[in-house]
Chains A and B, each alone.
Chain A
Amino acid sequence: MSNNVKAKREPLFHIVKREDLKIGYKIMIYAIAIVVSLFLGGIMSSLASKGDPFSFFVSLIDGCFGSSRKLWVFLQQMALILSVSMALVPAFKMKFWNLGGNGQILIGGLAAIACMFYMGGKADDGVIVLVAVIASALAGAIWALIPALCKAFFNTNESLLTLMLNYIASGLVTFFLAVWVKSGSGVLEPIKYGNLPELGNPYILIILFGALITALMFVYLRYSKHGYELSVVGDSPNTARYIGVNVKMVVIRTMILSGAICGLVGLLLTSGMSHTIGVKTAQNMGFTAIMTTWLGNCNPLMIIATSSLVTFVTKGMEQVRMDFGLTNDSIANLIIGLVYFFIIACAFFIQYKVVFNIKLKKAVKATADNTVVASTEETSTEIEENEEEVK
């Protein structure tokens, strides 16, 4: 029957799905991936300059925790990314891909700066702050509401719309800078009026905000009816309709919330930190947060871990650049990308394991030198490492 068929050899390995991976193993796999990627990063940096991989690690840690100021900055940066992630979580849980974090932050910051610019000197700082808080939240909410309405009523593609609104937001910022700055330099001098109060030092307010938002969002998603509704909409829109959830309402409501938080982050970045605004004010946090949210599996607790990792790598790399005398930031970006890539690649090893079909060889080997044959768990980790090294 099969004369013309080439006899197939048994394949070398096959891939098997697994479901019962213990949390310890998961953490181990992630830890290995991070360490290996950083190690590779160290080698790369030392190739590009005169340093060695060990001092790379030292610089990395020094950049984040080297002094109390560095620690504060680290926490502040982490709180900012965490807050933006918290803004994205409800939208992502609803399977509404809000890629417009940047634009919402910018527009919130713009609103805050506008309040400071026009009311500065004419009203009490307290009043200005109050108005700025409301204005920035509102501005962010409106910026998110536009794609939400289009999605709800015309079923447009939300990723495209939110993405495009980013450009409109940065365009608006440029426009207002041109209007406000008479000299034409396009750089707004820091405004002295209506700045957010400093609680002891300039970092604490933002850190507190991040912690508060994370806690609130955790409760909102886990225990509130709204959180329940939006998960139903995300998981099965048909079921949501069937149980009488007003899907359009939920989409609009959630996006307003998402945009408002982004807007508040804009306020923090402007009247809380720089007291001015530029097109780069958002620091691309809208996109970084997409990654932290996604890697954190839309779970606020896991996002704390992912955003601290991302901040660690970014802040640490800044120090490395300085210490190693790397003149351009492409190597830094390369290493950050490497870490992200390794973490994403981990998902494969968490969901699947690779089983080798080497029973015969195994038996021979076992009798030959009495080596303990690696269990599948260990085998898969080994492969992971190999694979990663290949990459």
Chain B
Amino acid sequence: MSNVALELKNITKTFGSVIANKNVNLVLEKGEILSLLGENGSGKTTLMNMISGIYYPDEGEIYIDGKLTHITSPQDAFNYKIGMIHQHFKLVDVFSAADNILLGEKMPTYSIRENAKKLLETLPQESLIKEVKKGEKVSKTLDFKVLGDYALTYLKICALPFIKLGKFVQFDFLANNRAKKLQEVADKYGFEIDLNKKIYDMSVSEKQTVEIIKVLYRGAEILILDEPTAVLTPQEIKKLFDVLRKMREGGKSIIIITHKLNEVMEISDKVTILRKGEYIGTVETKDTSEKELTEMMVGKKIDLKIERTITDFDKPLLEIRNLSINGDDGSSKIEDVSFYIRGGEILGVAGIAGCGQKELCEAIAGLRKIENGAICHKGDSIVGLPAKAIIDKGISMSFIPEDRLGMGLAPNFSITDNMMLKTYNDNKGPFVDRKTARKNAEALIKKLEIVTPSTETPVRRLSGGNVQKVLVGREIEAGPNVIITAYPVRGLDINSSYAIYNILNEQKSKGTGILFIGEDLDVMLALCDKIMVLCHGKNMGIVHAGKVTKEQLGLMMTGSLDLTEVNAEKNYGIAKDSHLTEEQWEEEKEKTEGKGENEDE
């Protein structure tokens, strides 16, 4: 028997005029970890969706265990023992981990009719009446043995419904057995997880673990992980990789989609590279280097170093003291956080997803009510100002949500119309000035190399990277002095990411203060001057990027290390050369209390 678990031959898939995959080949052997590498929009996820039954390929063949197969639905994929772990988890929040895993599991089918048929076949063939010879006389009597057989069979058939009921009870009420089996699966691969915990109590990493156990429990032999590390801390990534290695030893085949080259090098045996939907090649990880992989991925040589421009720091531009914010559900999202940004400085904000980054951004941009504290821009309080006034002060906020289009862009608008979102009201008269906007759009497309059919294409039709370029580009065109940017490189490929980093660095050297909320710690360590770590809305400390390690940041993100407690005498987040005196700060804070609400809210 061959050692190939999955083979794709000449897979092609198009969406309208867009070619998502073109003649892609892929071979996955048993007990192997394969990295699928490619820039954004290179068709990795499309390819995986075809394996997991979400799409059906236009052309090409999929072989599983050497057999040609057609996967037309996720159920088919599941039958072929393919399990996909999506980027966004599909779990029921109010259920426990075990319930989530067992959810939708079907009772083994037990057909009464089939079993009855089988039993009927065992009926004796002999006649019920047997002839007994007693000397010359032949007398007929009932054959009690055969009769007994008959009776027993019919009795058994009558009992079948009860057996079915019994099986049902066993399945539904003795869930303990299954929970035990689950725990076995978990222990086998070294997952540390309490299966009775509710999903809403779980961290992102735990949720991911649940997803993985779910797939394993259902007997998957081929696992596909779509960017599993994007949301994890370094410690959690290490744990995940240990688990993956154990699975490999157990003979499972794993495909892992990721952007991060260091992870590719660390975990995988082979790397398959896609570029713009086309299959570029497969290499053994041990024979290659990060540099070579990048070249294959991008198609040209590229410098992987992020420059940290050194600039002279100015006075603090934006100062925030003792800020507390509530989330939409009324729970506290940011608690007593103080920090400041100087001109010509990039302050990174690190933290696991949902630790209050979004609320912080919205509060600064004037979109969210604050509970306590003060936000001052060049010494003037901006709390309670309408969003437009804050924009006019030169504070730009761009938050890239997971769907990339939420805040800052109108998805169905053309690039031109999106360009004038912030400036449409600046000219006189009742009409909008599309001409200038179109010119700006053309200039931006040229400057940032945005790939688009025209300036009139709706932005939702553009690929992720280009959408983000439009957003970030527009924000910078407005000439802000404070840029708040959350996840500006979310889901971007290497080229686009570096374009964005360059834009930010350029702004920094012009004396703009930048608040950079990011996901990738390596990038933050290289790009930012200082990094503030948030954990459940609390400030865990602000550190110089040059003097901290990734592991320390990881510990701070999970709350195991609190520098504000360790160095209690250091006043974290309080600038010595503040625009305001301590008394003025107290006044500002008092003003906020009881007020806070934005008129436009």
Q: What is the interface of chain A, defined by CB distance below 8 A to chain B? A: 1-2, 5, 7-11, 14, 16-20, 223-229, 231-232, 235-236, 238-239, 241-244, 246-247, 355
Contact = CB atoms under 8 A, between A and B. Distances in A.
B565 interface: no
B16 A20 contact: yes
Contact of A19 (B15, B69, B386): B15
Given A1-B65, A242-B367, A232 B70 contact: no
Interface residues of B, number: 48
Given A223-B434, A242-B408, A243-B421, 15 more contacts: A1-B81, A1-B221, A8-B70, A14-B56, A16-B15, A16-B16, A225-B430, A235-B410, A236-B409, A239-B406, A239-B407, A243-B388, A243-B391, A243-B422, A355-B58
B171 to A, nearest CB: 19
B341 interface: no
Contact of A235 (B69, B412, B425): B412
Contacts of A224: 430-432
B508 to A, nearest CB: 23
Nearest to B80: A2
A246 B600 CA distance: 6
B365 A242 contact: yes
13 contacts: A1-B64, A1-B80, A2-B67, A19-B15, A225-B424, A228-B420, A228-B432, A235-B411, A236-B405, A236-B406, A238-B406, A241-B600, A243-B387
Interface of B: 14-18, 56, 58, 64-65, 67, 69-72, 76, 79-81, 221, 365, 367, 386-389, 391, 397, 405-413, 417, 420-422, 424-425, 430-432, 434, 461, 600
A91 to B, nearest CB: 17
Nearest to B362: A242
Contacts of B67: 2, 7
Contacts of B409: 236, 239
A11 B432 contact: no
Contacts of A2: 64-65, 67, 69, 79-81
A19 B17 CA distance: 7
Given A223-B431, A223-B432, A243-B422, A8 B15 contact: no
B385 to A, nearest CB: 10
B407 A242 contact: yes
B432 A8 contact: no
A239 B407 CA distance: 5
Nearest to A2: B80
Contacts of B421: 232, 239, 243
B397 A232 contact: no
A196 B421 CA distance: 43
Contacts of A18: 16-17
Contacts of B408: 239, 242
3 nearest A-B residue pairs (beta carbon):
A244-B388, A19-B16, A235-B410
A19 B413 CA distance: 17
Contacts of A228: 417, 420, 424, 432
Contacts of A243: 387-388, 391, 421-422
Contacts of A20: 16-17
A235 B81 contact: no
B69 A244 contact: no
SS of A interface (majority): mixed
B106 to A, nearest CB: 13
A2 B17 CA distance: 36
Contacts of B434: 223
A236 B411 contact: yes
A299 B501 CA distance: 40
B365 A16 contact: no
A20 B600 CA distance: 41
Contacts of A239: 406-410, 421
A231 B434 CA distance: 15
Contacts of B410: 231-232, 235-236, 239
A368 to B, nearest CB: 23
Nearest to B59: A359
Contact of A242 (B221, B397, B417, B431): B397
A355 B56 CA distance: 11
A224 B397 CA distance: 26
Q: Which of B70, B80, B410, B425 has the most CB of A within 10 A?
A: B410
Contacts of B600: 241, 244, 246-247
Given A243-B391, A246-B600, A238 B65 contact: no
Nearest to B55: A14
Contacts of B58: 16, 355
A9 B76 CA distance: 12
A247 B600 CA distance: 8
A164 to B, nearest CB: 28
Nearest to A236: B410
Nearest to B366: A244
Nearest to A249: B600
Contacts of B76: 8
B405 to A, nearest CB: 7
A7 B15 contact: no
B584 to A, nearest CB: 27
A242 B598 CA distance: 12
Nearest to A227: B432
Contact of A11 (B18, B70, B81): B70
Nearest to A8: B70
Contacts of B79: 2, 5
B8 to A, nearest CB: 16
A241 B410 CA distance: 12
B114 to A, nearest CB: 15
Given A239-B408, A242-B407, A225 B431 contact: yes
Nearest to B409: A239
Centre residue among A7, A10, A239, A247 by max chain B CB count within 10 A: A239
A18 B76 CA distance: 26
A17 B46 CA distance: 14
A285 to B, nearest CB: 28
Best-surrounded residue of B17, B387, B417 (most CB of chain A within 10 A): B387
A229 B432 CA distance: 10
A238 B67 CA distance: 50
Contacts of B430: 224-226
Contacts of A242: 365, 367, 387, 397, 407-408
A235 B270 CA distance: 44
Contacts of B81: 1-2
